[in-house]
Amino acid sequence: MFPPGFGEVAERLRRSTVHISAGGRGHGSGIIVKSEGTIVTNAHVARFGRLAVTLWDGRSFPAEIATRDLRRDLAILRVPASNVPAAPLGDSNQLRPGELVIAIGNPLGFMGALTAGIIHAVGPLPGLGPRKWIQAGVRLAPGNSGGPLADASGNVVGVNTMVAGRLGLAVPSNEVSRLLRGENPQPLGVTLRPMRVAAAGRELLGLMILELAPDGAASRASLLPGDILVGADGRFFSALEDLEDALQANSGRVLRLQFVRGDPSKMRSVAIQLGVSTSVAA
């Protein structure tokens, strides 16, 4: 049984949810968080290249990437629009298991699709590092990534990111608030996807390069799409945050990355002069 006013809450969220197209290389959703045209989405939705944002009323705008964040899988976009309906950000630290939540997005091209469920847990997941995830019983599909997860009052408490088992995973809204305040990581200039790889005689966490920013730090170091990063400064990765920690520790200096290219039995190394922007695809 939904609470009174649920329909109005859902309609307001729809008007604050946008469709994001990455120039024929995929699509997803985003959340208007400031009425002058500031949008938050997943970093793996906002890939390098031409981005277009379509509002609920059908208007479409080119989008500029303001920030991309590896650790949080978040991106901040700007569009040349004003007086657009912004969704309020809630306090994700106040979430409790059993609470009703609403997810809005554009799965499989259906604009403004809604799904509702309850919070199952808020916390880390094995294999995804120590950071918190909102784990909710909402049905997500390709195209939902980057869209809002909101409480019954319409406050955005998370950014829908991926599915694990039968649960949807969302980045907590407090991470969005920190990013909007400018707490950004040292950039690298790649889009990455986590995977398991057999290298150095063991199974390791690898970060496959999907895309490189033109003239970014990784591109200047001659890394290529398909290369799999497995370590930094001689230490293998065990969580997504390990690369981010290495980037922060070497801010303004040279970082040495270990990676494999083609044959996983052959470990390579490259020196990176840090410099552009980084994201991770879920």
Just list the catalytic residues: 44, 73, 145
* Whether the Cβ atoms of residue 145 and residue 98 lie closer than 8 Å to each other: no
**Which amino acid type is present at position 205?**
L
Residue 125 to residue 106: CA distance in whole angstroms: 26
Residue 274 to residue 282: CA distance in whole angstroms: 23
Angle ∠(106,44,126) on CA atoms, nearest 5: 100
DSSP letter at 213 equals -
Residue 269 to residue 136: CA distance in whole angstroms: 40
Question: What is the b/e burial string over 118-146, where b = at least 16 CB atoms within 10 angstroms of the residue's CB?
Answer: ebbebeebeebbebbbbbbebbbeebbbb
* Whether the Cβ atoms of residue 104 and residue 15 lie closer than 8 Å to each other: no
* Whether the Cβ atoms of residue 95 and residue 174 lie closer than 8 Å to each other: no
| Distance set, CA 141 to CA 46, 104, 114 (Å) | 17, 11, 11
